[in-house]
Structure 1
Amino acid sequence: MPRFAANLSMMFTEVPFIERFAAARNAGFNAVEFLFPYDHPPHEIRQQLTQNNLTLALFNTAAGNVRAGEWGLSALPGREKEARTDIDRALEYALALNCEQVHVMAGVVPTGEDAGLCREVFIDNLRYAAERFAPHGKRVLIEALSPGVKPDYLFSSQYQALAIVKDVSRPNVFIQLDTFHAQKVDGNLTRLIRDYAGKYAHVQIAGLPDRHEPDDGEINYSWLFRLFDEVEYPGWIGCEYTPRTHTEAGLGWFNAWR
């Protein structure tokens, strides 16, 4: 049976971030994820997780200077020291919050920069992250982002992500399979889910094309949820979508899984 995590960066935004944990629990979720925890001290988030009996499924390394167009630093040549500081900080939060995995954000390829060099830098930083995380039993994840959502991100295809994981060659590095991005770029989600089971350690969902609730659009999520059961996917499914209106009003799709 699929296990769902509410994404608190996109859902329950009707209330302040720190109040979204209780809102998610009251809606029937047993886990949460979010983009970044760094605006809050770990003990504050840990208190919310404990009080609401929630598992933290995932968060990201820091984005860098978003206003300047950055979306992660780990693939940026010359920024290795900053990237590794962000990785170390993410590990501190993962340990404090009992989170099993962190998405290490690659970054947008700077104008005029060689994408091949960026890929090499990313692989080196992923190896650093994997070796830092491994003694603690933590996983490192990478995620392909579709060009329409994040232009010039280092990689957009699930197959590029799989190739990076292969080249990193560390047992605790996996892909983060976001079906919204995967359908936009690669299609054939059934093949991705079946053929690469075991290569992805986290899944995220949203309706396509508008990134709303997973109950409408071109992706048949009822089919995919059965397929994840068929391949015995053991992880969480993160609900990384923007509600059409009020979050609670759009949770009808979730009734069968509460």
Structure 2
Amino acid sequence: MLRFAANLSMLFTERDFLARFAAAAESGFRGVEYLFPYAFEPRELRRALDDHGLTQVLFNLPPGDWAAGERGLASLPGREAEFRDSIDEALRYAEALDCPRLHAMAGVVPAEADAATREAHRATYIANLRHAAAELAKAGRTLLIEPINEHDMPGYFLNRQAQAREVLEQVGAANLRVQFDLYHCQMSEGNLTAALEAQFPRIGHVQIAGVPGRHEPDVGEIHYPALFDRLEALGYDGWIGCEYRPAGETRAGLGWGAAYGLTTGAPNVD
């Protein structure tokens, strides 16, 4: 059976962050992911996982100055030292949380960038990913890259599946894989079943959301039951991250997941 992880940056936001672990467990999730853990001490997060029998599935490397609009460091020329420091910080958390996958966000290319600037971003990205993959390999962990659509994140360096395949080939690291977000793929290029099949040997993680609106996966133009069936037929044994914004209260919208052990209704209140 497919395994679903609650993205705690988007789900259960009716509660404070540390209380979302309980809400996820009460709703039938056995894994969690989120954007960043760095606002909390590793021991706090470890305790939340242990208290509720949850597995930490994924989180991102530090992204730079998020509030200022930065969306990752991996492709940014001149920020290599900061990127390397971010790997060390992420691995410290990954060790404490026993998290097997880390996502390195690529960063944004300036809208006015010329061909030379874009080439500098590409070369920096490849070099940084080679270094990061080597460091994660020492710790037995997988490095992920994710094509993100330019409607949601204008200027993001990596936005198409074919581009991700080229990057993997250029880096040449066995532990570098693709974080395949079906929402972003639909927004960027569509033809999801063919894209999923073409990318499948390189996939290290899957994420879902409805299109349009990035709400529950049973709302909108994507027919997720067919894609879930295809993932099972392909032999996918990883996690599927539920990285969507609920249209209302989180648990009320979990009816789509009943076949996978998720439950609706009002959660218990601590």
Q: Structure 2 length normalisation: TM-score?
A: 0.93
User: Which of residues 190, 201, 207 is equivalent to 1:198?
Assistant: 201
User: Which of residues 139, 142, 145 is equivalent to 1:142?
Assistant: 145
Cα offset for 1:195?
A: 2.5
Return the letter of the residue paired with 1:243: P
Q: Structure 1, residues 59-96: CA drift from partner, whole Å, max 9, x if none? A: 00112112322111111000000111111111111111
Cα offset for 1:196?
A: 2.3
Partner Cα separation in structure 1 for residue 157 and residue 251 of structure 2: 35
Partner Cα separation in structure 2 for residue 112 and residue 77 of structure 1: 16
Please say if residues 71 and 106 of structure 2, whose CA atoms lie closer than 8 Å, have aligned partners that are also in contact: yes
Partner of 1:89: 89
Return the letter of the residue paired with 1:230: A
Cα offset for 1:10?
A: 0.1
Partner of 2:4: 4
Select between 190-199 and 6-15 the one with higher mean Cα deviation: 190-199
Q: Structure 1, residues 25-68: CA drift from partner, whole Å, max 9, x if none? A: 00000000000000001111011111111111110011211232
The 3-state SS of whatever aligns with 1:58 is strand
Please say if residues 177 and 204 of structure 1, whose CA atoms lie closer than 8 Å, have aligned partners that are also in contact: yes
User: Which of residues 231, 234, 238 is equivalent to 1:228?
Assistant: 231
Partner Cα separation in structure 2 for residue 73 and residue 242 of structure 1: 25
Q: Provide the aligned C-alpha RMSD in A.
A: 1.0
Partner of 2:159: 156
Return the letter of the residue paired with 2:88: D
Partner of 1:34: 34
The 3-state SS of whatever aligns with 2:216 is coil
Cα offset for 1:111?
A: 4.5
Partner of 1:72: 72
Q: Structure 1, residues 120-143: CA drift from partner, whole Å, max 9, x if none? A: 101111111111010221000000
Partner Cα separation in structure 2 for residue 134 and residue 16 of structure 1: 34
Return the letter of the residue paired with 1:115: R
Q: Structure 1 length normalisation: TM-score?
A: 0.98
Please say if residues 198 and 233 of structure 1, whose CA atoms lie closer than 8 Å, have aligned partners that are also in contact: no
Select between 75-84 and 106-115 the one with higher mean Cα deviation: 106-115
Select between 3-12 and 159-168 the one with higher mean Cα deviation: 159-168
Please say if residues 206 and 241 of structure 1, whose CA atoms lie closer than 8 Å, have aligned partners that are also in contact: yes
Return the letter of the residue paired with 2:181: D
Cα offset for 1:118?
A: 0.5
Return the letter of the residue paired with 1:174: R
| Count of aligned pairs between the two proteins | 258
Select between 54-63 and 4-13 the one with higher mean Cα deviation: 54-63
Partner of 2:249: 246
Please say if residues 183 and 211 of structure 2, whose CA atoms lie closer than 8 Å, have aligned partners that are also in contact: yes
Partner of 1:214: 217
Partner of 1:179: 182
- Trace 1:9-24 onto structure 2 (pairs within 5 A): 9-24=9-24
Partner of 1:123: 126
User: Which of residues 248, 258, 261 is equivalent to 1:255?
Assistant: 258
Please say if residues 207 and 216 of structure 1, whose CA atoms lie closer than 8 Å, have aligned partners that are also in contact: yes
Q: Structure 1, residues 151-173: CA drift from partner, whole Å, max 9, x if none? A: 00002111111111111100000
Partner Cα separation in structure 2 for residue 162 and residue 180 of structure 1: 18
The 3-state SS of whatever aligns with 1:197 is helix
What is the percentage of aligned positions where both structures have the same residue?
A: 48
Please say if residues 161 and 199 of structure 2, whose CA atoms lie closer than 8 Å, have aligned partners that are also in contact: no
The 3-state SS of whatever aligns with 2:201 is coil
The 3-state SS of whatever aligns with 1:56 is strand
Q: Structure 1, residues 182-225: CA drift from partner, whole Å, max 9, x if none? A: 01112111112223222010000000011000002111000000
Structure 1: unaligned runs, 5 residues or longer: none
Which 4+ residue blocks in structure 1 deviate beyond 6 angstroms? none
Partner Cα separation in structure 2 for residue 23 and residue 67 of structure 1: 27
Residue 25 in structure 1 maps to residue 25 in structure 2: yes
